[in-house]
Structure formats: C-alpha cells, structure tokens
Amino acid sequence: MDPRIARLKEEIYLVSLDVKDRYYQKALNKIQDLMAAYPDRAEPYYEMGRFCYDNWANVEAEENYKKAIQIDPNYFPVYREYCFLLIKIGRYDDAIGIIERAFDLPNKEMSDIYFYLGLAHQHKDNIDEAISNFKQALRYSGNENQINSATNFLEMCLSLKEKYMYL
C-alpha cells in the first residue's frame, strides 16, 4: 500500500476515535487538515460529510458527499451515507437515484444498496417495494449486523402491510 494512503487511513481512524470520545472540535480540525493535505482523495470529504450529518448541518454534508463523488465516483461508502442523508431530509426520489447509481460500482456492498433502497421506499410508503428490497438485502447479507437490520425492517414493513390490509 502506498505509504501516503496508509497515513490517510490512519488519520481517518484517529478522527473516528476523537468523534467516539466526543472531541468534536479536535476531530473537525483533523478532517479539515486532511482535506487540505489530500484534496485529491474522496475519504476526507466523505468524513466531513459524516461529521456534518451528525451535527445536523445537512447542506454542508450534502456538499461534501457530492465533492467526494466528484473526486472518486467509485467510492461506495459515500453513496450509502448520501442516500441516508437524503432520506433524513425527505428527498426520497433523490435517495433512490443516488443509491441506484451504486449498482454500477466495482466495489459495492449489495446488501447495503438493497437495504437503503428499502428504507427510501418505506419512507415513500411503497411498502411492497420496501419489502422486496429488504428481502434482497437479506439475500446478500454477509454479517450479523446486515442480517439483523434487514430482518428488523422487513418485519416492520410486513407488519405495516398487514395493518393496512385491515384499514
């Protein structure tokens, strides 16, 4: 691995520790330093997007996610987080559009794509489409967290569908 990239990944890990320990200003300063040191890498912009999202700075989060995609259109994690932001702010069709673009990426997590598609459709009240996507997420799940998340949301949608049948 390129030593410069190894250093970037180490610094991003340290940022995550600062956030975990609630040293938010320290984390923000490190992210800004990483953006200046690695302007050609998507990761610092992705991290800034996440930081902004966590602090309800949705406009800034979106700007950083867009910048990360512009720098590296194949960086999968940004699609997942950008989709989640769009769901949070009620832009469900945009969320679906972003996460569907991830199907074409070389390194993607199919379970995550289907899970976030399911979330967007659930929020749009497209319960059947959400159920279908959560089932696909389960099909591609590779770890316990993915399985549990997809199962929980699938069960919730099935319950909603059953409830709507009796209304």
CA distance 156 to 162: 10
Average pLDDT over residues 93-99: 98
* Ramachandran region, residue 16 (left: φ > 0; alpha: ψ -120 to 50; beta: rest): alpha
Residues 74/84, Cβ–Cβ less than 8 Å: no
Q: pLDDT, tens digit, for every residue of 134-160?
A: 999 999 999 999 999 999 999 999 998
pTM across the whole model:
0.92
- pLDDT score recorded for residue 84: 97
- pLDDT score recorded for residue 32: 97
Q: pLDDT, tens digit, for every residue of 4-16?
A: 899 999 999 999 9
Q: pLDDT, tens digit, for every residue of 104-142?
A: 999 999 999 999 999 999 999 999 999 999 999 999 999
HEC-encoded secondary structure of 1-57? CCHHHHHHHHHHHHHHHHHHCCCHHHHHHHHHHHHHHCCCCHHHHHHHHHHHHHCCC
CA distance 94 to 39: 26
- pLDDT score recorded for residue 34: 97
What residue ranges of the chain are covered by domains with CATH 1.25.40.10?
1-72
**CATH class for the domain made up of 96-167:** mainly alpha
Residues 83/99, Cβ–Cβ less than 8 Å: yes
Q: pLDDT, tens digit, for every residue of 25-82?
A: 999 999 999 999 999 999 999 999 999 999 999 999 999 999 999 999 999 999 999 9
Instruction: Provide the pLDDT confidence category of residue 161 given band limits of 50, 70 and 90.
Output: confident
Does the structure show a pLDDT above 70 at 166? Answer: no
Q: pLDDT, tens digit, for every residue of 22-40?
A: 999 999 999 999 999 999 9
Output the CA torsion sign for 95, 16, 69, 146. Answer: negative
The amino acid at 84? F
One of 1.20.1640.10, 3.50.50.60, 1.25.40.10, 1.10.10.60 is the CATH number of 1-72, namely 1.25.40.10
Does the structure show a pLDDT above 60 at 167? Answer: no
CA distance 132 to 112: 14
Q: Coil, strand or helix: which one is 165? A: helix
Degrees, nearest 5: CA angle 138-110-124? 75
